[in-house]
Amino acid sequence: MKNIITINRQFGSGGREVAKRLADVLQIAYYDKELIRQIADKTNFSPEFIAETSETMNPYPLVFANTFAHTSLSPADTIQIAQTDFIKELAEKEDCIIVGRCANSILADTAFKVFIYSSDMEERIERCYQKVPNDREMPKKKMEKQILAVDKQRGKYHSFSTGQNWADMSNYDLCIDTSKLGVKKAVELIVVGYHLFFNL
Amino acid sequence: MKNIITINRQFGSGGREVAKRLADVLQIAYYDKELIRQIADKTNFSPEFIAETSETMNPYPLVFANTFAHTSLSPADTIQIAQTDFIKELAEKEDCIIVGRCANSILADTAFKVFIYSSDMEERIERCYQKVPNDREMPKKKMEKQILAVDKQRGKYHSFSTGQNWADMSNYDLCIDTSKLGVKKAVELIVVGYHLFFNL
């Protein structure tokens, strides 16, 4: 088993940036869109469709995945089984960072599981505006509603797939608020945590 | 304003040990029983009575504390006002670690707020047995029930006093699971976090 970091994150918390910087600092692979591309290759669904499943669809819970392995499967189930298999293969193959996709549950006993959040809604809104500048035309209140809706969907997908509460700290080894620490310091802290966790 | 670390913790998670070791490593003061003793001095209630308020009583919410400052107060309110004042004074006076007593809410904007938990119930039970060896006669199931009951009361007290959810990560800058990392590594991580948070 390799040294895997899973990153789950609130929308607009800077979690994806944390994961990218972390991969740079630790010089290990980073699976986010690449993970989706690989699942697309295995399932023949489009990357866009796969990306959407974690925010809009409710596949069968992971615990039942094997039961359906040889039966006629819904697209969401096919994706989830391919994703579970691929994440387990990755964990045998190389040290890496995996963003989202229930990896914290799939590798619950072995990975270093990190959750990134931000208690500062203003900052989350600003981060979303910076990412998609055209969204600045959207009023802040509407953007806030959208941010909370994405979190809600992530939580729903996670709960339906794993039976776990996505926002419950007990599903992670380390939870960091980026609102005061910021992204760069969060990365420094995770680097230390990674070395401590895996006795490196 | 000094550099304050607040530590909230699940019962049996090793949180108090984390706080003590942290004080040793950082060579700063540690307020837990000492905090209670000081509040006892100010209010003329016994330390035992004060310790109990956080686990059994529901004083008025902190936000109303000032409203009642010059009226006839219940014991729980008197304690809570003294505690709030004392924690605010401490934060002006010296770098220190404060365990529990809603300090994370009282110093929400300035302190480095840490929550210690453990996702391993077996370990929490064992920690409680080690602390009070006679309790080994108590069946594990009963001890588990007791552990969850203390957490529930801490949550209830915290929620009633501050309006916040005690177990919600968004009320903390850093949340650490001691079940895999252990107490010593949790301390190392908080030391790094402390230096990053306060730019030391």
| Residue appearing with tokens 């596949």 | A59
Whether residue A177 and residue B177 make contact (CB cut-off 8 A), yes or no, is: no
Helix count (H) and strand count (E) of chain A? 8, 5
In this prediction, residue B71 carries a pLDDT of: 57
* B175–A173 CB contact, under 8 Å: no
For residue A147, the chain B residues in CB contact (below 8 A) are none
The pLDDT assigned to B54 comes to 66
Q: Count of CB atoms within 10 A of residue B22's CB?
A: 22
Q: Which of B112, B124, B174, B184 to mutate to test the interface with A (most CBs of A within 10 A)?
A: B174
* Complex confidence, ipTM: 0.90
pLDDT of residue B16 exceeding 80? yes
For residue B55, the model assigns a pLDDT of: 63
- Give the chain A residue whose CA is nearest to the CA of B191: A189
* Min Cα separation A182/chain B (Å): 9
Residue in A173, A180, A197 nearest the CB of B173: A180
Q: Which of A119, A185, A197 lies nearest to residue B196, judging by beta carbons? A: A185
Mean of the per-residue pLDDT values for chain B? 89
CA distance A38 to chain B (A): 31
The residue count of chain B comes to 200
| Beta-carbon count within 10 A of B24 CB | 10
Q: Is B85 helix (H, G, I), strand (E, B) or coil?
A: helix
The predicted-structure confidence for A24-83, as pLDDT tens digits, reads as follows: 999 999 998 888 888 888 888 888 888 777 666 555 445 444 444 455 777 778 888 888
- Tell me the C-alpha to C-alpha distance, in Å, between residue A168 and each of A85, A198, B65, B77, B184: 25, 23, 31, 31, 23
Instruction: Look at the block and give the residue holding tokens 């910076």.
Output: A130
HSE (CB half, 13 Å, CA atoms) of B25?
A: 18
Amino acid at A71: T
For B147-186, how does the pLDDT look when each residue is reduced to its tens digit (9 = 90+)? 999 999 999 889 888 899 999 999 999 999 999 999 999 9
| Residue B103 to chain A, least CA–CA distance (Å) | 18
SS3 assignment for A128-189: HHHHCHHHHHCCHHHHHHHHHHHHHHHHHHHHHHHCCCCCCHHHCCEEEEHHHHHHHHHHHH
User: 3-class DSSP state for residue B176?
Assistant: strand
Helix (H) / strand (E) element for B182: namely helix B178-197
Q: Annotate B104-119 with DSSP letters as a single string.
A: HHHTTTTSEEEEEE-S
Which tokens go with B50? 């004060």
How close B154 comes to chain A (CA, Å)? 17
Q: What is the pLDDT of residues B51-67, one digit of tens each?
A: 777 666 555 445 444 44
Chain A, chain B: beta-carbon pairs less than 8 Å apart: 69
**Binary contact (A174, B174; C-beta < 8 A):** yes
DSSP A44: -
At a CB cut-off of 8 Å and minimum separation 6, what does B12 contact? B118, B123, B124, B125, B127, B128, B147
Chain B residue closest to A111 (CA)?
B180
Which of A93, A90, A117, A95 minimizes the C-alpha distance to A7?
A: A117
Task: Give the helix/strand (H/E) hosting A81.
Answer: helix A75-93
**Choice among A7-16, A143-152, B127-136 with the minimum mean pLDDT:** B127-136
Residues contacting residue A102 through CB under 8 Å, at least 6 positions apart: A62, A83, A84, A157, A158, A161, A162
DSSP tag of B19: H
Q: Residue A89: which pLDDT band, with cuts at 50, 70 and 90? A: very high
Mean of the per-residue pLDDT values of chain A: 89
pLDDT confidence of residue B66? 47
| Contacts A181 to B, Cβ<8 Å | 173-174, 193, 196-197
Q: Which residues of A touch B (CB under 8 A)?
A: 115, 117, 119, 167, 169-177, 180-181, 185, 188-189, 192-193, 196-197
The Cα–Cα gap between B73 and B22 comes to 36
Please give the pLDDT value at position B65. 46
A interface test, pick of B9, B124, B179, B196 with most A CB neighbours within 10 Å = B196
Nearest to A192 by CA among A24, A14, A22, A15: A22
Q: Which helix (H) or strand (E) holds A31?
A: strand A29-31
To the nearest whole Å, the CA of A189 is away from the closest chain B CA by 6
Q: Which of A18, A122, A177 is nearest to B193 (CA)?
A: A177
Q: Distance (Å) from the C-alpha of residue A4 to the closest C-alpha of chain B?
A: 14
